[in-house]
Structure 1
Amino acid sequence: MLKSDFPGAGGPFAIGGAALALCVATLAICWPGVAMYDSVWQYQQALSGHYNDWHPPVMARLWALLHRLGPGAAPMFLAQIVLYWLGLGLWGVALARGGRGIAGLVVLAIGACPVFLGWQVTVLKDAQMAAAMLAATGLIAWWRLAGRAVPVAATVAAGMLLAYSVLVRSNAVFAVVPLAVMLTRWSAGRKLVVGAIGVVLVLAVSPLINHRVFGAVQSGVTRAQPLYDMAGIAHFSRTIETGGLLPEELALIEARHCYKPFFWDSLADPRRCGVITERLETVGMGAVGAAWARAILYHPLAYAEHRIGHLNMTWRFIVPAHVPSAAPPEGGEPNTIGLINPGKAHVTLARAGAWVAETPVGWPIMWIVVAGGVMFAARSSTGPARDLAVALAISALVLEASFAVISIASDLRYHLWAMIASALAAVLMAGYALPRRALWIGGGALALVVAAATAARIALPPGPATYDGMLG
């Protein structure tokens, strides 16, 4: 049974006004957004009209359209911040309208959390994905939490936002398809089958859309995952007998310490092991894929060791303190194409985000446990809020599980949607009178994980604190 918050804790108009104020404040403090390295690359494509598929081209194409409204990152920044706070505002007002004003305020507090907001003000595909998915789910929640069917127009709008989400981030399929399937009223078996088929279809169709609809040329990005996995397998098995890498390439990887559980970047860096990447670019993708499959088949233990090590890093579980690529950037990538930095007020936000990123709030592993706890607690509950919580939790968990197989870097921004979705799911489930057993088990699991991660940060020697330091 759902419980209401304290009377007067926050009415719908107050929550809506607060969301609008936070949106305006974000735009004012962080204008015109932060343009990181990826942003500069995509903006160059938007200006030139020449696109490749290293980053999904839908964002660069959209940027080219919005460029008519003004130069630089500002139009894209405006779009993603409006969608971000629109989605959170819809969630907050929908909860307040049902008597859960405190929950509505908590939703806005989640959005204002410096580590989440600090990354959201960067003009990146990860922030675009999170903003679009928040707006889509907020639209659905507006109607579902009131016990009403979602109108056709709202369904179409949410569907378009989810379609953009799945196109703007290559692994977003693992978040979007499970979310969409869980929002249906199908049976559990049908959801599982349709979800699995949907993921496969999207993975098959997305490259066609990127190349034939958006006109992106192939960049060789599809070789990055095989190369990283083959390097990991070679590192742990100490052999290249599967044919994926040449003997001298394995020797180079070991001599220059190019294999790192944190990311694949050293393998592509011309100063490190970039010659290996250059060679594989001349090899057909079929041959690369076959060598990749053989390496995994012949050395499954080495592959598992490699993937578990990387998963631990990207989930930021048993790692030293101050692992790089967690703090929101204080400024953007230097460039000559008109992408400028926000003012000093934004630096304060970024530094606050850097501090929060070192706490459990900035550890993806904590939010994975929270999402798992939501699933465990939801077994004894019913209702629209429970169904939405489960959809958000499954979206987060499937996305996080995908990193066990498909991931080549450990930046915190990759987990932005999963972390926010898990937080929203927890807020939704907090409205139910949950069984004491579920609270004890969920709370205990969370405490153990946080304790283990904290102990690791205290006990392990600090590693490199910068990107260049991680490269070696």
Structure 2
Amino acid sequence: MRKLELENGPLALYLGLVMAVAIMAFSPGLLNADSIDMLNQSVTGRYHDWHSPLMTLAWSLLGHVKPGPAPMLVMELLLFVVGTYLILARVFRSAWIAIGAATLIILLPPIFGSLGVVNKDMLGLSLFATMIGLFGADLAHRKARLAVAWVAFGVLMCAVRTDYLPFFFWACAARIWVSLSWRLPKRSTPADALMIVGAVAVSIVAALIFALATAISIGVVNYGALGADRRYPIQATLLHDIAGVSVAHNDNLYPSWIKNRGVTLEAIRKRYATHAGDPLFWGGEPRVPFASSPAEFMELRGAWLMAVGSNPKAYLRHRLAVIACLVKSCTSAYGHFQYATDPRYGNLVDYDRMGLNEPIAGANMRAGYLKWAAGTVLARAPLYIVSLFLCMSLLLAAPWASRPRVPSPVHDHVRTVSGALGLGAASHLLVLGLLTPAANFRYLTPTIFVAAILLLYALFTVCESRWPIRIASAISRLNHRARN
């Protein structure tokens, strides 16, 4: 890998400071209902596919070092910090400026606050950051070991968060396109244009095949090697969609095995909520049950297809309302954490073995979260303000304080990474719009992360171009004319 203009001392200091601040704020790690469920699985050794079996396995292995969420918190923070630095180091001419920009992004309140939650969402984001950082290094140096590294992190990312697959797909497509574009002619004849279109098509098809193979391999590992129980997590979305269409169509469109358990149209109307399906599942009796067998799931899928096919407008209105709630959840100043307090997850009796304190587990989790919010995030609001001004000062000083590294101000690999990130973020939002069962802020964390990266890329593309010089020259000419 390219040797950056950075000695080991400054990099170690940077990583140490960021890790120390994050661990001080979040140690031993915040847990929601999903986290406790996975932690419980890691102790019992029985996995199911509602959460990532691979992350549960990793958590059980880390439990040999120290029980509880602390080792997983350290691992996800380390991956995210290093990955963010690798992403930004591709574009900045000074390693110190790259460190400042990475700190700015890490300390963005929605991202920094979310990193303290030890769950599949944040580990997926950390793996995503590392994958993109190695992807940029591979584009810059064309080393086989770098390609293997970012693909491996991409596969792990998809195993932890399946909805991150679009990011992996577009990264693969971009890498294949770069490999093909090196061999394309540089002329602009019609035949060359057809070759370019063909290369783009080949890149997309090859990446799609590889992404599908990755998804199939993850399923084989989850159900074959790890023996995870099938619980069909997609059914939460199907049940929520059918409820939305049923309310709009004024008819109970659930399959017969759900109707036979006392779920009536009146009950659906009473507990249907646009932002999430949880009130349907846990809001009271009669609950909308989950499928417990392949036959029930197949019947549920058929009912969903029939409901969507016969009422497409109602389905689209329902999904658009979910997206609107998802966007609205971003309005919180420090990020919106939706922690579950369902007593179903208060089944951890051996707290010492799991490295947990009783006040932050199960039904007492809300009290632990409120205490953390008042004592950590709000108390550290000045940290965000100070770091923002410090990092912005470094960013604005970059064109003058850093030495030129290459003659060209804009690098091809930066444009390629930007394109892959932009297409991946757009595709990820489309997947969320179609498949998310709830409007949860943490689902948008990768979008915010990508937006921050692209904004800094655009800023430095302008700063390292001739535009600052032209603007300064124009101002100088205006001043000269004013004097005369």
Instruction: Give the equivalent residue in structure 2 for 1:299.
Output: 311
2:320 aligned with 1:308 = yes
1:404 alignment partner AA: G
| CA–CA distance in structure 1, aligned partners of residues 374 and 338 of structure 2 | 9
Of 286, 299, 313, which residue of structure 1 is paired with 2:298? 286
Of 163, 167, 178, which residue of structure 1 is paired with 2:159? 167
2:146 aligned with 1:148 = no
Of 30, 33, 39, which residue of structure 2 is paired with 1:34? 30
Shift of 1:282: 8.6
SS of 1:404's equivalent?
helix
Of 435, 453, 475, which residue of structure 2 is paired with 1:424? 453
Alignment CA distance shift 1:91-1:173 (3 Å):
closer
Q: TM-score, normalised by structure 1?
A: 0.74
Of 210, 229, 234, which residue of structure 1 is paired with 2:222? 210
Of 50, 65, 77, which residue of structure 2 is paired with 1:69? 65
Moved more, 68-77 or 184-193: 184-193
Shift of 1:281: 6.2
Shift of 1:181: 2.3
SS of 1:277's equivalent?
coil
Structural mapping, 1:277-426, within 5 Å: 277-278=289-290, 284-316=296-328, 326-327=336-337, 336=349, 337=351, 338-340=355-357, 348-351=375-378, 383-426=412-455
| CA–CA distance in structure 1, aligned partners of residues 282 and 458 of structure 2 | 46
2:168 alignment partner AA: V
Moved more, 101-110 or 163-172: 101-110
Contact 1:115–1:353 (CA<8 Å) still a contact in 2? Answer: no
Q: Which runs of 5+ in 1 are unaligned?
A: 1-9, 358-380, 437-472
Which has the higher Rg, Structure 1 or Structure 2?
2
| CA–CA distance in structure 2, aligned partners of residues 388 and 322 of structure 1 | 30
| CA–CA distance in structure 2, aligned partners of residues 322 and 428 of structure 1 | 26
Instruction: Give the equivalent residue in structure 2 for 1:136.
Output: 131
| CA–CA distance in structure 1, aligned partners of residues 255 and 289 of structure 2 | 15
Shift of 1:263: 0.6
Superimposed CA distance per residue, residues 97-136 of structure 1 (whole angstroms, 9 cap, x where no aligned partner): x248545522321111122111112111010011111112
Q: Which runs of 5+ in 2 are unaligned?
A: 181-198, 361-367, 385-409, 466-484
Structural mapping, 1:233-312, within 5 Å: 233-240=245-252, 246=259, 249-254=264-269, 256=270, 258-269=271-282, 271-274=284-287, 276-278=288-290, 284-312=296-324
Structural mapping, 1:37-56, within 5 Å: 37-56=33-52
Shift of 1:38: 1.0
Instruction: Give the equivalent residue in structure 1 for 2:478.
Output: none
Structural mapping, 1:105-116, within 5 Å: 105-116=100-111
How many residues align? The count is: 397
Shift of 1:208: 3.0
Identity of aligned residues (%): 19
| CA–CA distance in structure 2, aligned partners of residues 356 and 253 of structure 1 | 46
Contact 1:110–1:420 (CA<8 Å) still a contact in 2? Answer: yes
Contact 1:326–1:354 (CA<8 Å) still a contact in 2? Answer: no
Shift of 1:272: 4.9
Alignment CA distance shift 1:272-1:242 (3 Å):
closer
Alignment CA distance shift 1:280-1:228 (3 Å):
farther
Of 56, 67, 84, which residue of structure 2 is paired with 1:60? 56
Of 71, 75, 81, which residue of structure 1 is paired with 2:77? 81
Superimposed CA distance per residue, residues 287-317 of structure 1 (whole angstroms, 9 cap, x where no aligned partner): 2111111111111111111111111111228
Instruction: Give the equivalent residue in structure 2 for 1:365.
Output: none
Q: TM-score, normalised by structure 2?
A: 0.72
Alignment CA distance shift 1:189-1:62 (3 Å):
same
SS of 2:205's equivalent?
helix
Contact 2:113–2:334 (CA<8 Å) still a contact in 1? Answer: no
Contact 2:72–2:118 (CA<8 Å) still a contact in 1? Answer: yes
Contact 2:89–2:95 (CA<8 Å) still a contact in 1? Answer: no
SS of 1:25's equivalent?
helix
| CA–CA distance in structure 2, aligned partners of residues 241 and 84 of structure 1 | 44
Contact 1:178–1:398 (CA<8 Å) still a contact in 2? Answer: no
Shift of 1:389: 1.1
Alignment CA distance shift 1:100-1:393 (3 Å):
farther
Alignment CA distance shift 1:140-1:200 (3 Å):
closer
| CA–CA distance in structure 2, aligned partners of residues 100 and 85 of structure 1 | 14
Contact 1:53–1:219 (CA<8 Å) still a contact in 2? Answer: yes
Moved more, 131-140 or 100-109: 100-109
Instruction: Give the equivalent residue in structure 2 for 1:377.
Output: none
Shift of 1:168: 0.6
Shift of 1:55: 0.6
2:302 alignment partner AA: A
Alignment CA distance shift 1:296-1:415 (3 Å):
same
Superimposed CA distance per residue, residues 72-114 of structure 1 (whole angstroms, 9 cap, x where no aligned partner): 1111111111111111222344444x24854552232111112
| CA–CA distance in structure 1, aligned partners of residues 264 and 157 of structure 2 | 37
Alignment CA distance shift 1:395-1:410 (3 Å):
same
Alignment CA distance shift 1:390-1:15 (3 Å):
farther
2:315 alignment partner AA: Y
Alignment CA distance shift 1:48-1:354 (3 Å):
farther
Moved more, 225-234 or 25-34: 25-34
Shift of 1:232: 1.0
Alignment CA distance shift 1:75-1:296 (3 Å):
same
Give the aligned CA root-mean-square deviation in angstroms.
3.8
Structural mapping, 1:442-457, within 5 Å: none
Contact 1:35–1:339 (CA<8 Å) still a contact in 2? Answer: no
1:176 alignment partner AA: F
Moved more, 425-434 or 284-293: 425-434
Alignment CA distance shift 1:312-1:202 (3 Å):
farther
